[in-house]
Amino acid sequence: MPPHVTAATGLDALIHAVEAFTSKNANSLSDVLARQAMKLIYGHIRKAFANGEDPAARAQMLEGSLLAGMAFANAGVNGRACVCLPDRRRISHSPRCRQQHHAAPVMEFNMLGTLRSSLR
């Protein structure tokens, strides 16, 4: 996989995990999944980017991405995905990662509503 695709998909998965962890609807299951996803992705994205042929780094990124998706689904997160939809329709050739600038306001909204996630 080309390094730019590794970076784009890895950051997308990492942001899913962060969003799940900071969601107003976060729960004990989504928290465990999100924490492990963040740990795996953060710990292996540089290796996977530098050497796309490293099977161990790829496996850890794959598991982190899976866990991020599970956390995302269990935390009732969809704000950023909804906000990005119009952009993705208009800029269909752009990697989804480029739309992540919408994530910060959604996460800020969630964190302002509850400090529970940020204090764990």
pLDDT band at 115 (very low <50, low <70, confident <90, very high): low
Report the pLDDT value the prediction gives residue 77, as an integer from 0 to 100.
Answer: 81
Report the pLDDT value the prediction gives residue 24, as an integer from 0 to 100.
Answer: 86
Query: Does pLDDT of 91 surpass 50?
Result: no
Query: Does pLDDT of 116 surpass 90?
Result: no
Query: Does pLDDT of 97 surpass 50?
Result: no
- Cβ atoms of 68 and 14 within 8 Å: the answer is yes
Report, as an integer, the average pLDDT of 2-15. Answer: 92
**Higher pLDDT pick, 78 / 99:** 78
Q: What is the pLDDT of residues 72-84, one digit of tens each?
A: 999 988 655 544 4
Helix (H) or strand (E) holding 86: helix 79-90
Residue 23: count other Cβ atoms within 10 Å of its Cβ.
Answer: 27
Please enumerate in sequence order all residues whose Cβ is within 8 A of that of 10, keeping only pairs 6 or more positions apart, or say none.
Answer: 41, 45, 48, 49, 61, 65
Q: What is the pLDDT of residues 26-46, one digit of tens each?
A: 999 999 999 999 999 999 999
